[in-house]
Amino acid sequence: MSVHKIDEKSSSEGSTDFAPELKTEPISLTEPTLRDYLIYASVSRSNETKPSDAQIEVEHARKTEHQRELDQARRALRTATWVSVFFLITTDILGPFNAPFAFSQVGYVPGAVLYVVMGGVACFTGLQLWKLFCRLDSHEFPVKTYGDLGERIFGKEFKHFCTVLQSLQLIINVGVICLSNAQSLEQLAANHQFCFSVSVLIWAIVGMCLGQVRSLQKYGFFANSAVWLNLLIIFTSMGFVAHSPPNFAAALTSLGQSEGPVQTAKFVSLPLFDKVNGIMQMVFAYGGAMIFPEFLAEMRRPMDFWKGMICAQLLICTAYLMYGLFVYSFQGQFTLPLAYQGVSKQSWQDVGNVFALITGIIAAGLYGNIGIKVAYYSIIEDWFKGPALTSRTGRFIWTVMVFIYWSLAFVVGSAIPQMKIAAAGLIAEDSLAIGDVIDANTPSKDPGDTWMQWSRWKRGFFGGTWYYNLFNLILFLASLSMACLGMYGSGTAIKATFQLEGAATSFGCRSPV
């Protein structure tokens, strides 16, 4: 393999170099600094731009031929393209079936405005994650999870904090999908002919089988299928809703709404916690960005991620608005959290439920795959210094973790049958991006301070474009406020729903629909 060495004066197409002053002999970086991460990331992006050309190396850390072969092997494992990422993101985020319920909680005007605003924020924060990944990930120091980004900037403790929150989010996501699929199965069974908790357990077992797949690239076909099936559900259920009265029985059980005329409004007058839950459904609708680093980690060219992400966000926002406005116009206050279950004719319910079972388990498999990888990298490899995931022993440990993970998802779904209504508030996430703390043009002048010193905070907030940093700070504080409101709304909604006559109970056999 041909090699081209760089020093701090060299540059390459499509990248920014952050090389430090060269040393005359090779060294091993056991505790790399933030500047080291930037240097190696710059080199990796340059090598990805023209993989057939001579590979660039940092001269003060020259590699042996064996190390170069390992780098080549790592690059070979990154096979996903931006088209694959488009389908993965759409599978991850596209779930417009709660959009009509969100409109029923806030009304036409707030619903339409907030879906567009939330979509814009989701796109902005997705681009932030993409930028951070490209500037901090390298073949020598790969970014594998969302928590790795936090570690690069704030240290190990912040990585563990991010990992715990992300793991909690993904387990709840998988539990909610198991719950949704169980509700679909109950409707298919016609009038709840077997125990609801058993329905949840069935999908947890299916997930345990699907979870044996380790590579996201192998999910490409399934993700592609899930996108088209979701769109098919959207258009068929829109036709069904237009020719069917609401499912009054399910609305009474799930929402406490008695049969009556359909009512819609520009602005809805409901208790605060109901409105908060409606808004949280919109947050939840775009709430898959925390697994973007996992998608990026398996891309052949991470710099192309923005193409798939923006295309996916445009499709998702359009689907949410179109589907939400249409179904709410026909079903009003009787709109269910899973809109395709809101038609009264059993055969039409069955069509939506069958397709939703397929797309739901694919999405759950995707979340489970990411969640288990996060746990494996953090617990097995980081804490216990265990074997790599690709090893034979790693395969065995992965299998055990799959069973544990899906068992926890079953507990979440069966313990709180009303989780679908309130899940959004429990998974509300916040994003923070701090400005550059190292001047890209003068890497040798890194002062070497830490986050414990005011000089770094000052440089981060007031260096470069201060108004961009101010916007990020306001967005962060607004996200924290939304998270607190979401926890209040979800807790109040769960309590109110449990108190309804005939409501489903924890680990019980009564269905919530």
Q: What average pLDDT does range 1-23 have in this prediction? A: 41
pLDDT at residue 16, rounded to an integer: 40
- Measured CA to CA, the distance from residue 372 to residue 450 in angstroms comes to 32
What are the Cα distances from residue 230, in Å, to 201, 310, 452? 24, 19, 48
Q: What is the pLDDT of residues 245-256, one digit of tens each?
A: 998 888 887 787
Give all domains of the chain, ordered by start, each with its CATH number: 83-441+457-499 (1.20.1740.10)
Q: What is the pLDDT of residue 405?
A: 92
Burial of 507 (0-12, 13-18, 19+ CB in 10 A): middle
Structure confidence at residue 110 as a pLDDT band (50, 70, 90): very high
At 294, phi and psi to the nearest 5?
A: -65, -35
- Determine the pLDDT at residue 112: 94
Token pair of 399, please? 């299998």
The pair of three-digit structure tokens given for residue 163, joined into one six-digit string:
């990992």
From the CB of residue 180, how many other CB atoms can be counted at a distance below 10 Å?
29
Residue entry with tokens 């991470």: 302
Q: Rounded to whole angstroms, how far apart are CA atoms 350 and 346?
A: 6
The most distant pair of C-alpha atoms in the chain lies apart, rounded to whole Å, by: 82
Task: Name the least confident of 217-231, 301-315, 356-370.
Answer: 217-231
Angstrom distance (rounded) from CA 446 to CA 439 = 8
At residue 29 the predicted structure's pLDDT band, cuts being 50, 70 and 90, is low
**C-alpha closest to that of 299 among 143, 79, 84, 148:** 79
Amino acid identity, position 114:
L
What SS3 string covers 50-78? CCCCCEEEEHHHCCCHHHHHHHHHHHHHC
Separate counts of helices (H) and strands (E) for the chain: 18, 2
Q: What is the mean pLDDT of residues 352-373?
A: 86
Contact 433, 407 (CB under 8 A): no
Indicate whether 311 pLDDT > 80: yes
Nearest alpha-carbon partner for 47 in 77, 101, 3: 3
User: What tens digit of pLDDT does each residue of 283-300 get?
Assistant: 777 777 788 988 898 888
For the segment 307-323, the average pLDDT, to the nearest whole number, is 92
Residue 454 vs residue 18, higher pLDDT: 454
